[in-house]
Amino acid sequence: MQTQVESTPAQPDRLAEDQRPVALTAKAVEMVKEAMAAENLEGYALRVFIQGGGCSGFQYGLDFDKEPKATDFEFYYGDLRVLIDPVSAMHLEGTEVDYVMGTTGAGFKFNNPGAKSTCGCGSSFS
């Protein structure tokens, strides 16, 4: 007699509010939701990540993703689902993502207390 074992995909780790590696301000959440609505991305999540590059070594990134990867951390701001991979989470621990408007334009700003140095535009760090 053979036993059939069903394979289920791994679920991302869901983090409690006090365990989130990244904090989003209310304005950032609002602007992400507006962008998702404008792009018709219902059911997608915001992916926060870092990648090599930029003038300081690492670059911040935001994107939309339909499905989490098996190792992702997952957390929510209301109904906004946020995904972050473990390596990015390690580098972004304690970072606040805000949406700011200024004389030179508007956009997302990363306030990373762990950054040793940042570039002039604020989009990369080391």
The least confident of 24-28, 36-40, 122-126 is 122-126
Residues in the chain: 126
24 has a pLDDT exceeding 70? yes
Is residue 76, in this structure, part of any structural domain at all?
A: yes
By DSSP bridging, strand 13-14 and strand 80-84 are unpaired
Read off the pLDDT of residues 29-74 as tens digits, 9 standing for 90 and up: 999 999 999 999 999 999 999 987 655 578 889 999 999 999 999 9
75: containing domain = 13-115
CATH number for the domain including 97? 2.60.300.12
Is residue 2, in this structure, part of any structural domain at all?
A: no
Confidence of residue 17 (pLDDT cuts 50, 70, 90): low
9 has a pLDDT exceeding 70? no
Is residue 28, in this structure, part of any structural domain at all?
A: yes
pTM of the model: 0.77
Is residue 43, in this structure, part of any structural domain at all?
A: yes
Q: Name the domain count of the chain.
A: 1
